């Protein structure tokens, strides 16, 4: 058995520090080695204790969590999990933290919540195991291919991601031109975060990016992000493909689930689809990607070296669901090659 993950808890609220400590201490594979109430205390604690992982409150006195995170990533890169309020402002700050280099984000619990902080302990353990270098934020947007250089075919693109997916999706989608193939995405994310993330992607990318709505038609030049929370994203209607948000129990512990999305794309589009599985904990999406490949779709997986967590892509690769494993920097361009119209017509 490996040594427990050593964690420093940073939050200006003694109550919140106590709650986080209690949740993490209930897992025998996690050891909370210290607490800090602000960035100054945290800086000294990091020097003294050398933790494997830090949980960091976004809103703190003296220096806010985002500013402190930037200093950590510049001076002493290490896995940091942000703790945020589940508000629009909190979502915006969390997404900024993920782009700076945070490992993941969790929401502060609502009053009376039965299972506060959900899978925080699992995220801490995954963060402690990773060998990723936490010193490279997302690159600035690069100009997308000119519309004249890309002739879109008839394929649908489906992408699944989890931990590390914010950076990964930005890297992939920034390669897409304004006339990209219709693209549907399930990213594991708290409910209040997905709308802000869609808006952020829309600002950073050439195509239109929006949170998926029930019945929305799949159109060239549009990307649809599954809303977090109560429903799964599927695609349906072969004659006029559209998004469907369906009420259903969580799958693989997630709602929305990547497997649910991939299953529906396999059934609807078959060989006229491309499936992509990116960084993430667990196995969600692996079985669905295999179903897509068996239906004739092209399939891609992010390689281990460029994953924040090589979980979902690893399981998909081991199942034989992945046609090609590629570094993150190559995935966007490969999707375009697979979905481009042929010179004599369209695919």
Q: How far is CA 311 from the centre of its chain?
A: 12
218 and 251 in contact (C-beta within 8 Å)?
no
Which of 11, 104, 188, 254 is catalytic? The answer is 188
Burial code (b: 16+ CB inside 10 Å, e: under 16) for 176-203 equals bbebbbbbbbbbbbbebbbbbbbbbbbe
Annotation marks residue 84 as catalytic: no
Rounded CA Rg of the chain = 20
Annotation marks residue 162 as catalytic: yes
Which of 162, 196, 257, 264 is catalytic? The answer is 162
Closest listed residue to residue 3, CA positions, set 29, 25, 21: 29
Annotation marks residue 214 as catalytic: no
Tokens of 95: 């997404």
Q: Strand pairing partners for 81?
A: 55, 104
Task: Report how far residue 275's alpha carbon sits from residue 293's, in angstroms, rounded to the nearest whole number.
Answer: 8
Task: Report how far residue 73's alpha carbon sits from residue 62's, in angstroms, rounded to the nearest whole number.
Answer: 19
Task: Report how far residue 5's alpha carbon sits from residue 30's, in angstroms, rounded to the nearest whole number.
Answer: 5
Taking CA atoms, 210 is separated from 139, 173, 205, 221, in Å, by 22, 13, 11, 11
Which of 11, 259, 284, 317 is catalytic? The answer is 284
Which residues are marked as active site?
162, 188, 284
């Amino acid at each position: 058995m490996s040594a427990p993950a050593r964690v420093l808890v940073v939050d200006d609220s003694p109550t919140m520090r106590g709650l986080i400590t209690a949740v993490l201490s209930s897992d025998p594979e996690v050891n909370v080695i210290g607490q800090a109430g602000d960035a100054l205390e945290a800086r000294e604690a990091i020097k003294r204790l050398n933790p494997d992982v830090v949980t960091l409150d976004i809103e703190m006195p003296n220096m806010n969590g985002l500013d402190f995170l930037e200093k950590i990533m510049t001076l002493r890169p290490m896995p940091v999990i942000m703790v945020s309020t589940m508000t629009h402002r909190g979502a915006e700050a969390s997404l900024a933290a993920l782009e700076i280099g945070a490992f993941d984000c969790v929401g502060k619990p609502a009053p009376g919540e039965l299972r506060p902080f959900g899978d925080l302990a699992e995220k801490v353990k995954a963060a402690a195991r990773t060998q990723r270098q936490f010193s490279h934020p997302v690159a600035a947007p690069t100009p997308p291919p000119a519309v004249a250089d890309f002739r879109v075919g008839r394929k649908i693109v489906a992408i699944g991601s989890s931990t590390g997916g914010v950076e990964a999706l930005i890297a992939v989608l920034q390669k897409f031109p304004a006339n990209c193939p219709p693209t549907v995405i399930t990213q594991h994310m708290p409910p209040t975060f997905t709308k802000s993330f869609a808006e952020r992607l829309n600002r950073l990318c050439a195509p239109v990016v929006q949170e998926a709505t029930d019945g929305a038609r799949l159109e060239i030049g549009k990307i649809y992000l599954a809303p977090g929370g109560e429903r799964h994203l599927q695609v349906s209607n072969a004659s006029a493909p559209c998004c469907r948000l369906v009420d259903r129990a969580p799958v693989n512990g997630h709602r929305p689930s990547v497997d649910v999305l991939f299953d529906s794309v396999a059934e609807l589009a078959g060989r006229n689809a491309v499936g992509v599985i990116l960084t993430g904990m667990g196995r969600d999406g692996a079985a669905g990607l295999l179903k897509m490949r068996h239906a004739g779709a092209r399939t891609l997986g992010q390689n281990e070296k460029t994953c924040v967590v090589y979980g979902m892509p690893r399981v998909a690769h081991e199942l034989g669901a992945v046609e090609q494993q590629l570094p993150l920097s190559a995935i966007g361009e490969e999707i375009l090659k697979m979905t481009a119209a042929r010179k004599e017509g369209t695919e």
